[in-house]
Amino acid sequence: MSQDRDDDIRRVVGGGHDFESMAAVLNVYRAATSIRNQIERKLLNRHGLSWGGFTALFVLWIWGPMESHRLADECGLAKGTLSGVLTTLERRDLIRRNRLSSDRRRVEVVATGAGLELVKAVYPEFNRLETDVTSSLTGEEKRLLADMLGRLRRTAEGIG
Amino acid sequence: MSQDRDDDIRRVVGGGHDFESMAAVLNVYRAATSIRNQIERKLLNRHGLSWGGFTALFVLWIWGPMESHRLADECGLAKGTLSGVLTTLERRDLIRRNRLSSDRRRVEVVATGAGLELVKAVYPEFNRLETDVTSSLTGEEKRLLADMLGRLRRTAEGIG
DNA sequence: CCCTGATCATTCGGGCCCGAACGATAGCTG
DNA sequence: CAGCTATCGTTCGGGCCCGAATGATCAGGG
């Protein structure tokens, strides 16, 4: 946020507001959408993957098969949203749903061979884009950024 | 990102990857969605506003009427997306579209009295939530965070 | 004057996203 | 063992979101 914009805002909304917090929140959101859009455009679209789809596949790769509610949590998605994402992935044979015999309400989600192959192929380039996108920060800054954002997120979720 | 998770990832994806950048990007995205979801749930939904709709109204409040393409840019939305958001706002008489007589391709977007009234009423609470959400950071940290995220965003957009 | 190419906003197709409602399943309790 | 109650995943309604295609409008050159 440039100083000019900041001044415009102060002038219009008046005093008694918390501009530091506003700038922090605004920048978190803007940076996130920029990163997501760039990575989708430059990489994921080409492989027919959405951000959410790639995330799910990545989680299943790292931690192996898991139940749907936990996968939703790991991906940061509402369960209804995850259901749709999984349907898309399933249509392309990248994941499978297995109903648990021990509790037929639950569903275990498993990446197929093709799913694992895809995420393994895409991840290196994904990581390279992460590096590119954060190239204006030092290693120490990246750690600091991640730490501050982690606190921010825990606070936000704690408020709910 | 906890150390355990980090270790799991290192073990599976193997060496030669940039985990610092990965953690930074992951946390940006997760923090952004947490914040957005909380603010929508706790405030905007009650007023029938989406994040994008509130943003558009806020921008029009601060900087006054502006052409549609600039508004899209200020809101960080694709122009097609903004068109939909504006239709929603227009249906509720919160904004108006004026075709420019000087160039009938262009559209000037104006907040109505009701629109200004709404954004003025909602903004103080919005700002309070921004304060709450960032309460685990010091003022200096918020400034640092905003600065790093600004650099990050400019880099991301520069890559495209 | 047209014609051509550029530049607007809108529309469209597809998918994401949420919360609420739903139906199926499980476990408890009397 | 029948009837609650809680807890699954899915579905549904509505809106957001993008990129590509579309149609309207404008500016410049023959």
Judge whether residue B78 has pLDDT over 90.
yes
Query: How high is the pLDDT of residue A131?
Result: 97
**Is the C-beta atom of A87 closer than 7 angstroms to strand D?**
yes
B112-141 mean pLDDT = 97
Residue B104 CA distance to nucleotide D24 C1' (Å): 8
Contact in structure between B51 and A32 (CB atoms under 8 Å): no
Rg (CA), chain B: 19
Say whether A133 and B41 touch across the interface (CB within 8 A): no
Residue B45 CA distance to nucleotide D16 C1' (Å): 14
| Contacts made by residues A47-51, CB under 8 angstroms, sequence distance 24+ | A47/A118, A47/A122, A48/A92, A49/A118, A49/A122, A50/A85, A50/A88
**Is the C-beta atom of A79 closer than 7 angstroms to strand D?**
yes
Between A71-80, A112-121, B14-23, the lowest mean confidence (pLDDT) is in B14-23
Cβ contacts (< 8 Å) between A21 and chain B: which residues?
Answer: 127, 130-131, 133-134, 142
- What band does A15 get if pLDDT is binned at 50, 70 and 90? confident
Cβ contacts (< 8 Å) between A81 and chain B: which residues?
Answer: none
Non-local (6+) Cβ contacts of A92 within 8 A are A48, A114
Nearest-Cα distance to chain B for A125, in Å, is: 10
User: Please, which residues bridge with residue A109 across strands?
Assistant: A66, A97
Angle between helices B19-39 and B3-13 (to 10 degrees): 130
**Which residue has 């914009």 as its token pair?**
A5
Judge whether residue B1 has pLDDT over 60.
no
Nearest to A134 among B34, B150, B152 (CB): B152
What are the pLDDT digits (tens) for A24-76?
Answer: 999 999 999 999 999 999 999 999 999 999 999 999 999 999 999 999 999 99
Task: Report the alpha-carbon distance of residue B61 to residue A9 in Å, rounded.
Answer: 9
Identify the residue whose Cα has the smallest distance to the C1' of C18: A78
The two three-digit tokens of residue A116, written as one number? 């694992």
Q: Residue B143, Cα to own-chain centre: how many angstroms? A: 18
A104-130 mean pLDDT = 97
Judge whether residue A3 has pLDDT over 90.
no
B6-18 mean pLDDT = 90
The reply to whether the predicted model has a pTM over 0.95 is no
Task: Report the alpha-carbon distance of residue B68 to residue B90 in Å, rounded.
Answer: 13
Non-local (6+) Cβ contacts of A107 within 8 A are A67, A68, A97, A98, A99, A100
On strand D, nucleotides with any atom < 7 Å from a protein CB are: 7-13, 15-21, 23-27
Say whether B156 and A31 touch across the interface (CB within 8 A): yes
Nearest-Cα distance to chain A for B88, in Å, is: 22
Residue B58 CA distance to nucleotide D21 C1' (Å): 31
What are the pLDDT digits (tens) for B28-69?
Answer: 999 999 999 999 999 999 999 999 999 999 999 999 999 999
Query: How high is the pLDDT of residue A73?
Result: 95
User: Please, which residues bridge with residue B109 across strands?
Assistant: B66, B97
